[in-house]
Structure 1
Amino acid sequence: MITPVIMAGGTGSRLWPLSRELYPKQFLSVTGDMSMLQQTAARLSTLEHSSPILICNEEHRFIAAEQMRVGSFEHNGIILEPVGKNTAPAIALAALQAINISNDGEDPLLLVLAADHIIDNELAFTESVEKALPFALNGKLVTFGVVPKTPETGYGYIKAGMKDGDAFSVSEFVEKPDLETAKKYLATSEYYWNSGMFIFKASRYLEELAKYEPQILETCKKAIAAPSQDVEFIRVDSAIFETCLDKSIDYAVMEKTDSAMVVPMDAGWSDVGSFSALWDVSEKDEYQNVTKGDVITVDSTNNYIFAGNKLVSTVGVDNLVIIETKDAVLVANKDKVQEVKTVVNKLHEAGRTEQKLHREVFRPWGKYDSIDFGARDQVKRITVKPGEKLSIQKHHHRSEHWIVVSGTAKVLNGEQTLIVTENESTYIPLGTIHALENPGKIPLEMIEVQTGSYLGEDDIVRFEDRYGRS
């Protein structure tokens, strides 16, 4: 039986401002109602498989868990990377964990998928996986080569060698080419886009990793030797894992092994690596515009326009990307969208928060929206889900005034425990230990007014937290 491994890492830079460092693109719903992570999980429904293992960054754990829960997707644990070390170590951790939880010494068959890909034709995806199965069961390390439609310069390529049934030996992996080289690749029919998806036995991957990158394997073995299980999260040893080499599976194993095979896949695949790629895979109107939200276009063509909160109108524009969110607006030529990363870098250098998180931030207990702020004050709209509780905490630099808009709040305020209902409020003085809980059956909506000399999210001293953050 297949054990899917869903890699849900990412930095959130290529689709900024829709994606952020703390909310990368795999958690976005860019086509349809489901996020790309949820679409990846749903895509497995036509395959006989066990519950997937997820891998994500420590800071993304609650978003990943919540999206799987909301989508009713079961999983076999979420491995948390304390720091990103690329795909070779990530897959090694998953392979070791899959072997650890397997029944009766079974050698798990891993189907490695990225959480931020779009595949339009799920039947073709399933057929390619089924064609790859016999080779993987026979000890091959199989990758999936996407049948190219255009001379794409943004992808790496795989050159196919000798044909063997439904697969080919891998002749070579090729870096992203220039346009003329990509055109030559397309004309030969021997080259495929490198999808970054794989299927192989866990033991075979570890054997090849031991042969070519033994340091990665030994480090991963030590890091996951005694994992900390926090409900659904699997934590590895941070200090050990941070010493691991940073290498992709291609560089570490696939380009070196003599067991690599490639199975063609023609399934409408895209890694949605830019807004132009997102425009390519999205439904367009008669003027080739893609519009999301409240948008009015006049004499405008070939644009990707996203209105998150306000009316966005265009007159006489062509080939633009226009993105409006609560805290940022991006206007870019569609041919220059790869340079969005430069904007993100400038925000990072300036110490601004817009590259890191949205104005509306999701937490395991609910969410908050920073609706207004000044030099010494900030106003947040807070939503707490029924039955959830924020950590017991205090602040060194700010006091807080809480006003309940709807629902019921159970408040720890120093030595007192209060029930605060609609149109009532309470004041939390600076330095006072406090906590907020929703004991009711409906969401708790409240307004928080913060005042003080420093209002950063890192001014929190947690004493107790049901989500493992204390």
Structure 2
Amino acid sequence: MSLIQPVLMAGGNGTRLWPLSRQLRPKQFLSLHDDNTMLQNTLTRLEGLKQHPAIVICNEEHRFLVAEQLRQVSANSARILLEPMGRNTAPAIALAALAATDQEEDPLLLVLAADHLIQDIDKFHNSIAHAIPLAEEGHLVTFGIVPSHAETGYGYIQQGQEMGKGFKVKRFVEKPDGATAATYLASGEYLWNSGMFLFRASLYLAELEEHQPKMLNACRAAMAVTADDLDFTRVNAEAFAQSPNESIDYAVMEKTDKAVVVPLDARWSDIGSWSSLWDVSDKCGAGNSYHGDVLHEDTHNTLVWSENRLVATVGVEDLVIVETKDAVLVAHKDKAQDVKKIVQQLKEQERPEFKNHREVYRPWGIYDSLATGNRYQVKCITVKPGAKLSVQMHHHRAEHWVVVSGTAEVTNGEKTYLVTENESTYIPIGQVHALQNPGVIPLELIEVQSGSYLGEDDIVRYKDNYGRA
């Protein structure tokens, strides 16, 4: 039996889960259902399968998040492929197929979205076991979710002739209206399109050669000139940019005669909105789901998610209420899909709440922007043990550092010295400097910036442990 090559697609933005999901920290990197993130759960639910180390495909700007989250679940052997820009799922999977065959191997690719919830792992593994013989026989297998209701937010797959434990795909159907979805559900012939697949790497490349040769040529050219950087593999951006922007369904699955669907009934959800998160969450007797510090009175069928502050509800029902450090969302559950319209407004207005949380993750740790004024900014900075910020300089701002806990090793011009708890130091404008945590506990300090310009792009890096210089 062939070894499986897991391919995790981790490039989405999850706009309908704003304000928790942001461009630089989308839903696949969040802990929405338990203590692990969605990406981590996608990896750990594969335990017990005979598999190669996973290939994770992500955006350049998410690379350190991915590497850190893989490290936390001891998946350091995973290969991280960086997409220079988004080109949809078909080219991304082509990169993975080419990477999987670069050692003259030809594994079965198990293509998974990194932001799905699957609660019944045994049934998930059973469906994979049913799909393996079909993939080995030369079929492109997709997994179809057994529908529980007439959902209008998913595409559908119509089952045709029975084949082993699966069915020949009769047709793919776009998201239907309510009446059409009800007829699909009643017929028993249709499954939800999950966007998960199992097929031989070489077969996928051959199907691309037939149905979308321009895409395959662009991906081959991109993989012909790769560069390894720390934990990451970068592909040639100029070549990859020439690829058409198409989903695997449109580029291959709707055109091939080799498509087979295997049913999956494993308590699956793509958690595509706050209402769908409420659907799969534990609830009290009044139908409410709570996260964080929440008080409630006469509240029904409501999701309340508090990240930092007390949230109290009185006399409300069918709402979604989400609090983060810099934003609050209040929406009717029936309108939860429209949160993406707010995100579009944030993007058009170039507001920071579109891109980042107030708390920003970096490869060396975290910083939290506590206060900002015309000529000042105050941050709380946490540096992981042994980590070091880049050797850098600022043209427009000076910095004052006050150590709250731990010990800082500071390079300030020609001098290097230690700063311990309740001590401070000053970095003048234009001074080359660096900050390192030489200890075994996290270093926490308060940074006060002052100057005419305080943007993150006022950094000239001379040396960096994370390839950013």
TM-score (ref. length: structure 2): 0.98
1:92 aligns with 2:80: no
The aligned amino acid for 1:169 is K
Q: State the distance in 2 between where 1:173 and 1:398 align.
A: 56
Q: Percent identity?
A: 61
The aligned amino acid for 1:309 is N
Task: Report the equivalent of 2:219.
Answer: 220
Task: Report the equivalent of 1:57.
Answer: 59
Task: Report the equivalent of 1:444.
Answer: 443
Task: Report the equivalent of 1:312.
Answer: 311
**1:76 shift after superposition:** 3.1
Does structure 2 conserve the Cα–Cα contact (< 8 Å) formed by 1:288 and 1:303? yes
Does structure 1 conserve the Cα–Cα contact (< 8 Å) formed by 2:110 and 2:199? yes
Does structure 1 conserve the Cα–Cα contact (< 8 Å) formed by 2:158 and 2:172? yes
Q: State the distance in 2 between where 1:415 and 1:379 align.
A: 26
Encode CA deviations 1:395-417: one digit per residue, 9 max, x unaligned. 12111111111111111111211
Task: Report the equivalent of 1:6.
Answer: 8
Encode CA deviations 1:369-403: one digit per residue, 9 max, x unaligned. 00111111110000001110001111121111111
**1:259 shift after superposition:** 0.4
2:33 to 8, 31, 34: 31
Does structure 1 conserve the Cα–Cα contact (< 8 Å) formed by 2:359 and 2:366? yes
Correspondences of 1:84-123 after superposition (within 5 Å) = 84-101=86-103, 105-123=104-122
**1:460 shift after superposition:** 1.0
Q: Aligned-pair RMSD on alpha carbons?
A: 0.8
Does structure 2 conserve the Cα–Cα contact (< 8 Å) formed by 1:397 and 1:430? yes
Correspondences of 1:139-150 after superposition (within 5 Å) = 139-150=138-149
**1:346 shift after superposition:** 0.9
Q: What are the ranges of 5 or more consecutive residues in structure 2 without an aligned counterpart? A: none
Task: Report the equivalent of 2:344.
Answer: 345
Does structure 1 conserve the Cα–Cα contact (< 8 Å) formed by 2:134 and 2:164? no
**1:73 shift after superposition:** 2.2
Return structure 1 stretches of 4+ with deviation > 2 angstroms.
73-76
Task: Report the equivalent of 1:72.
Answer: 74
Does structure 2 conserve the Cα–Cα contact (< 8 Å) formed by 1:368 and 1:380? yes
Q: State the distance in 1 between where 2:78 and 2:293 align.
A: 40
Does structure 1 conserve the Cα–Cα contact (< 8 Å) formed by 2:288 and 2:301? yes
Task: Report the equivalent of 1:16.
Answer: 18
Task: Report the equivalent of 1:396.
Answer: 395
Task: Report the equivalent of 1:48.
Answer: 50
Partner secondary structure for residue 88 of structure 1 = helix
Partner secondary structure for residue 244 of structure 2 = coil
**1:12 shift after superposition:** 3.4
Encode CA deviations 1:31-56: one digit per residue, 9 max, x unaligned. 11110101000110121111100000
Q: State the distance in 1 between where 2:241 and 2:163 align.
A: 40
The aligned amino acid for 1:177 is P
Does structure 2 conserve the Cα–Cα contact (< 8 Å) formed by 1:12 and 1:23? no
Task: Report the equivalent of 1:427.
Answer: 426
**1:14 shift after superposition:** 1.3
Q: State the distance in 2 between where 1:223 and 1:399 align.
A: 42
Partner secondary structure for residue 45 of structure 2 = helix
TM-score (ref. length: structure 1): 0.98
Task: Report the equivalent of 2:83.
Answer: 81
Q: What are the ranges of 5 or more consecutive residues in structure 1 without an aligned counterpart? A: none
Q: State the distance in 1 between where 2:325 and 2:279 align.
A: 25
Correspondences of 1:171-186 after superposition (within 5 Å) = 171-186=170-185
Q: State the distance in 2 between where 1:76 and 1:362 align.
A: 21
Encode CA deviations 1:73-99: one digit per residue, 9 max, x unaligned. 244310001111100000000000011
Residues 245-254 or 448-457, more deviating:
448-457
Encode CA deviations 1:180-208: one digit per residue, 9 max, x unaligned. 00000000010000000000000000000
1:161 aligns with 2:187: no
Aligned residues: 467
Encode CA deviations 1:115-173: one digit per residue, 9 max, x unaligned. 00000111110000000000101111000000000000000000111011211000110
Task: Report the equivalent of 2:190.
Answer: 191
The aligned amino acid for 1:94 is A
Q: State the distance in 1 between where 2:34 and 2:169 align.
A: 35
The aligned amino acid for 2:20 is L
The aligned amino acid for 1:183 is A
Q: State the distance in 2 between where 1:108 and 1:464 align.
A: 40
1:268 aligns with 2:267: yes
